[in-house]
Chains A and B, each alone.
Chain A
Amino acid sequence: MKTGIVFAGVGGQGVLTASSILGVASLKAGLNVVMSEVHGMAQRGGVVVTEMNIGDAHSPLVGRGEADIIVGFEPVEAYRVLSKAHPGTHVVVNVEPIVPISASLGNAQYPEVQMLLDRMNNLKVYPLEATQIARDLGNVITANIVMLGALSAIPGFPVPADSIKAAIMDKFPKSVHEINLKAFDKGAEQVRKLA
């Protein structure tokens, strides 16, 4: 048994941080985990994708049809990785767009978010305002933890929320534990409402 997860977003949104927290949480929960990330040029503003298999797997990459869960930190980036999904894949998606330069310079058009969501048929889609929730909590960079919370509430998710919370506390200094745990719970609450 394995659970294939694809995280997709924009550099600066904390995609790498969130996915490696989940990796540590998997270890804490006694689960095998392999994850792949790409570092390099341009840390902010470009596409960031990490892939992860929890359970019986050697490959750190998720093949087409092997993503059981997609965590989209940004609507267009969520859509871009849908070819990894299978019918019924859970898609958690932060609905706040980050418009790329290509659209600002008029070389491309940013699609309507609602249209993107509407086209995600045959999938279990959980749209949420992760960035806005984080902004309301007082720090927009905790949006990635809102997303982790959301992910944890998907029915049948293999990693227990407590392990993820423990990994969050390992990762950050005490001073920001409270805001991050709040962000986590808010995210989980949103998905529970939709599930």
Chain B
Amino acid sequence: MKHANILIDEPGHKEFLLGNEAIVRGALEAGVDFASTYPGTPSSEIGNVLFYISKKAGMYFEFSTNEKVAMEVSAAAAISGLRAMVFFKHVGLNVAADAFMSTAYIGTHGGLVVITADDPSMHSSQNEQDNRYYAQISGMPMLEPANAQEMKDFMKYAMELSEKIGTPVLFRTTTRVNHVRGIVEYGPLGEKRGKGKFIKNPNKYVPIPANSRRMHLELLERIEKAREEANHSPLNRIELHGGEIGIITSGAAYNYVADFVEKYGLKANILKLGMTHPFPDELVAEFISSVNKVIVVEELEPYLEKNTRTLAQMRRIAVPIYGKLDGYFPRAYEYNPDLIRETFSKILGEKFETEVYSPDEIELPPRPPVLCPGCPHRATYYAAMMALKQLKIKDAIITNDIGCYTLGIQKPYEMADYLLCMGSSIGTAVGFSKATEQKVIGFVGDSTFFHGAIPGLIDAYHNNANLVYVILDNRTTAMTGHQPHPGLPMNGMGEKAPYVDIEKLVRGIGIDFVRTVDPYDVNATIKVFKEAIKHEGIAVIIAKRECALLWDARRRKQGEWWVYEINQDRCTQCGLCSDWLACAAIFKRVDEDGKERVYINDALCDGCGVCATICPFNAIEKKVIR
């Protein structure tokens, strides 16, 4: 989709949209005035679209420094009467949780929608926590869309619900909804409010204990009001297939259930829940009373199931309920059509056959994610590895952080020993430096540094820690799709913006040993690493080089392209480039003469030339393509 297509003002128009793009369209149809985020997969494309269209759409958008800031920024906009949305990945809500909980107490004037993008199966996350419990702990209403069209439609509903009840709404998505493409039919674009007006009322907006005690009771009243809404919401619907089996489901799981019921002509009614908090007790009670068997299908935690079982007990409804608590459905990883078919077979004692091809077992080489060819982090890790080897240090503790560079965990670099969360590289490095006698090296990306590592670095300085801290400054938030961050002269609306100079910031704390290096200059980088490792106290290295993908895109646009190739006459097959730099474009092949040789794949090589720099035999040569 071209970004501008999201703004087409033509009700009935259809686009093939990513779930995240559909969210933006829904927000525009709801007349959203304001948005903030910190990028995180699987939510990132929402921000990428807003980056391109927010100015044109006449709304404010920012990539905030972290999720907590993003939550605060949007909360203030909404309390001033604007419609605002804030979005992040599931663990981002952990970062924002403090502010998030208070917004539930204080409530809102303008619509405030908090989007959490959960990641069952952990495609790109450190855990698969089920953020539906955040609705329960905060008392916010929650919606769970199941496809791209619902992403759009539910956004508009969420904004209206938020204003009607005066509460922020939790919009819970998962990878298989965020990253699903489907056909979305547009509605009319909404009216914008422009600027808000904040009307002072400290008793309502400042949660000092005297106020909070009252606020909690008001929150409980809002929950009951929202429950009424959930019981009658069009987002909760029953699909009748004339059966005695009742299936309760929500989110991505619904899609697999719907296809399964259709494919096998199962006589089962489906209660498809779109508004799942507060739990629609009347609706569910009526549904489970109308069938003689209930199957609850939901990914991750038994949220709907526990609520259904509690309800059945309270209302004395003696219908058998099947789900996770009795061991039928798993509590880990995302669901899929096979799992639904197999589990229904077990529950119903019926075979649901499908003809499957069984390929011969062949051992295939694994292909895990790797640092891209040309990635400057590879050069930095190579330099760190070589410096440690040359200094004969074997037990250095490497703390790492969240970004593409976490892939430094792989062989041959093995540059990740401990990792908790965004920004943890520095706090944990301080801990290791105090708790052990080992050398400690921490790695953090530029965006992650701004997000959550600065307080840790202040802690390191103030507490006299002894460590090396490496800031991998690739001039972008790379892993989530190249969003700007506070270190760049551009903001979330694509405008020129003041930027924070990382080296000045680090020196401003009071740290003296600060060196900025270009990782492509491998030999100089190895030298700086050795110096830093020998330094007593804090040594900060800023490895600064733009993400290779941005560099590639620019050169492709300019029509310039070159790759590197191995001159087999000079190559001694020493393996330094293939085994130690281990670039994804370099591979070994057994030729027809039976000899194994190193080659560079021209379809993957991006021409960074780091392999040529380290080659001791000058056997790697540049080849200009155009």
Chain A contact residues, CB within 8 Å of chain B: 10-13, 20, 23-24, 26-27, 32-47, 56-66, 76-77, 79-80, 82-83, 85-87, 89, 98-105, 107-111, 115-116, 119-120, 122-123, 131, 135, 140-141, 143, 170
Contact of B365 among A43, A44, A102, A123 (CB under 8 A): A102
Q: Which residue of B lies closest to A2 (CB)?
A: B259
B16 at the interface (CB under 8 A from A): yes
List the A side residues contacting B258 at CB < 8 Å: 58-59
Encode B1-45 as 1/0 by CB contact (under 8 A) with A: 110000000000011100000000000000000000000011011
Known: A45-B584, A76-B365, A77-B367. A64 touches B373 (CB 8 A): no
Provide 10 A-B residue pairs closer than 8 Å at the C-beta atoms, listed in order of the A residue: A20-B181, A39-B481, A41-B404, A41-B407, A58-B259, A99-B601, A102-B366, A104-B578, A104-B579, A140-B602
* Inter-chain contact B363/A43, CB cutoff 8 Å: no
The contact size tier of chain B is 35 or more
Encode B238-260 as 1/0 by CB contact (under 8 A) with A: 00000000000000001110110
In the bound assembly, the distance between CA atoms of A123 and B359 in angstroms comes to: 10
Tell which of B365, B367, B404 has the most Cβ of chain A within 10 Å: B367
List the B side residues contacting A116 at CB < 8 Å: 362
List the B side residues contacting A44 at CB < 8 Å: 370, 372-373, 549, 584, 604
B435 at the interface (CB under 8 A from A): no
B183 at the interface (CB under 8 A from A): yes
List the B side residues contacting A122 at CB < 8 Å: 357
* Inter-chain contact B364/A80, CB cutoff 8 Å: yes
* Inter-chain contact B256/A59, CB cutoff 8 Å: yes
In the bound assembly, the distance between CA atoms of A83 and B579 in angstroms comes to: 32
List the B side residues contacting A109 at CB < 8 Å: 363, 365
B326 at the interface (CB under 8 A from A): no
Q: Which residue of B lies closest to A110 (CB)?
A: B365
Encode B320-363 as 1/0 by CB contact (under 8 A) with A: 00000000000000001110010000000000001111111011
In the bound assembly, the distance between CA atoms of A172 and B175 in angstroms comes to: 27
* Inter-chain contact A61/B406, CB cutoff 8 Å: no
Encode B402-425 as 1/0 by CB contact (under 8 A) with A: 001011001110000000000000
In the bound assembly, the distance between CA atoms of A67 and B158 in angstroms comes to: 36
In the bound assembly, the distance between CA atoms of A80 and B272 in angstroms comes to: 34
Known: A27-B14, A33-B182. A64 touches B354 (CB 8 A): yes
* Inter-chain contact A63/B16, CB cutoff 8 Å: no
List the B side residues contacting A98 at CB < 8 Å: 587, 601, 603-604
Besides A33-B16, A104-B586, 7 more A-B contacts (Cβ < 8 Å) are A34-B182, A45-B370, A58-B147, A63-B337, A63-B354, A79-B362, A102-B367
* Inter-chain contact B255/A59, CB cutoff 8 Å: yes
Encode B597-609 as 1/0 by CB contact (under 8 A) with A: 0000111100000
* Inter-chain contact B16/A27, CB cutoff 8 Å: yes
Tell which of A38, A40, A119 has the most Cβ of chain B within 10 Å: A40
B622 at the interface (CB under 8 A from A): no
Chain B contact residues, CB within 8 Å of chain A: 1-2, 14-16, 41-42, 44-45, 123-124, 146-147, 175-176, 179-183, 254-256, 258-259, 262, 336-338, 341, 354-360, 362-373, 404, 406-407, 410-412, 479, 481, 549, 578-579, 582, 584-589, 601-604
In the bound assembly, the distance between CA atoms of A170 and B4 in angstroms comes to: 13
Q: Which residue of A lies closest to B582 (CB)?
A: A101
Known: A64-B338, A65-B354, A76-B365. A103 touches B587 (CB 8 A): yes
* Inter-chain contact A42/B372, CB cutoff 8 Å: yes
Query: Which 10 residue pairs across A and B have the least CB separation, nearest first?
Result: A40-B124, A63-B337, A42-B369, A45-B584, A46-B369, A108-B365, A99-B587, A65-B356, A82-B359, A58-B255
List the B side residues contacting A35 at CB < 8 Å: 180-182
Contact of A36 among B180, B357, B360, B412 (CB under 8 A): B180
Known: A41-B406, A58-B258, A98-B601. A87 touches B357 (CB 8 A): yes
List the A side residues contacting B373 at CB < 8 Å: 12, 44-45
In the bound assembly, the distance between CA atoms of A141 and B368 in angstroms comes to: 22
* Inter-chain contact B357/A89, CB cutoff 8 Å: yes
Q: Which residue of B lies closest to A46 (CB)?
A: B369
Q: Which residue of B lies closest to A175 (CB)?
A: B559
List the A side residues contacting B589 at CB < 8 Å: 99
* Inter-chain contact A76/B364, CB cutoff 8 Å: yes
In the bound assembly, the distance between CA atoms of A44 and B308 in angstroms comes to: 44
* Inter-chain contact B42/A103, CB cutoff 8 Å: no
CB distance from A24 to the nearest CB of B (A): 5
List the B side residues contacting A62 at CB < 8 Å: 337
CB distance from A94 to the nearest CB of B (A): 11
In the bound assembly, the distance between CA atoms of A8 and B589 in angstroms comes to: 23
Contact of A12 among B45, B176, B603 (CB under 8 A): B603
* Inter-chain contact A103/B365, CB cutoff 8 Å: yes
List the A side residues contacting B582 at CB < 8 Å: 101, 104-105
List the A side residues contacting B180 at CB < 8 Å: 34-37, 60
Q: Which residue of A lies closest to B148 (CB)?
A: A34
* Inter-chain contact A65/B372, CB cutoff 8 Å: no
Contact of B370 among A24, A66, A86, A101 (CB under 8 A): A101
* Inter-chain contact A64/B407, CB cutoff 8 Å: no
Tell which of B147, B479, B603 has the most Cβ of chain A within 10 Å: B603
* Inter-chain contact A12/B604, CB cutoff 8 Å: yes
Contact of B256 among A24, A47, A61 (CB under 8 A): A61
Known: A34-B180, A122-B357. A103 touches B549 (CB 8 A): no
In the bound assembly, the distance between CA atoms of A186 and B359 in angstroms comes to: 29
* Inter-chain contact A40/B41, CB cutoff 8 Å: yes
In the bound assembly, the distance between CA atoms of A63 and B360 in angstroms comes to: 19
In the bound assembly, the distance between CA atoms of A95 and B372 in angstroms comes to: 22
List the B side residues contacting A11 at CB < 8 Å: 369, 372
